[in-house]
Copies of this chain bind each other. A is one copy, B any other.
Amino acid sequence: MATKHASSGELIDVRPLGAPLDDSQSTTLLRDAQLKIMRFVMPAGKELPDHAVDGPITMQCLEGVIEVTAHSSSKTMRAGDLMYLASNVPHSLRATKDASVLVTIVVERPAS
């Protein structure tokens, strides 16, 4: 993951990278106290096994095709599809074509 993070007001390019994709291109685009944004690059065949995140997330497919399994259901995501998952919902991902995915994580803080 690259370490250069965007600051407030800066433009971040989330256009498709185009083939060939290589998972070393995965990047953390932004990190603040409440928000973390990454682009995951998933070459075809790449899997992220079942995991859960402590905070609500969104995943937006930027290019390619991924299968996302959550809530006992599998969905096919292509460019322009976005999925929200509530905090701590287990999910897995599998790229069926070279893909990149914009992942936004809300960092959980204990309620006051």
Contact = CB atoms under 8 A, between A and B. Distances in A.
Interface of A: 6-16, 29-30, 32, 34-35, 37, 55-56, 58, 60, 70-71, 73, 75, 77, 79-87, 89, 102, 104, 106, 108-112
A75 B32 contact: no
Given A109-B109, A112-B109, A11 B86 contact: no
Contacts of A80: 13-16
A84 B34 contact: no
A110 B9 CA distance: 24
Given A104-B58, A104-B104, A109-B112, A82 B14 contact: yes
A79 B81 CA distance: 15
Given A9-B75, A89-B8, A104-B58, A35 B112 contact: no
A2 to B, nearest CB: 16
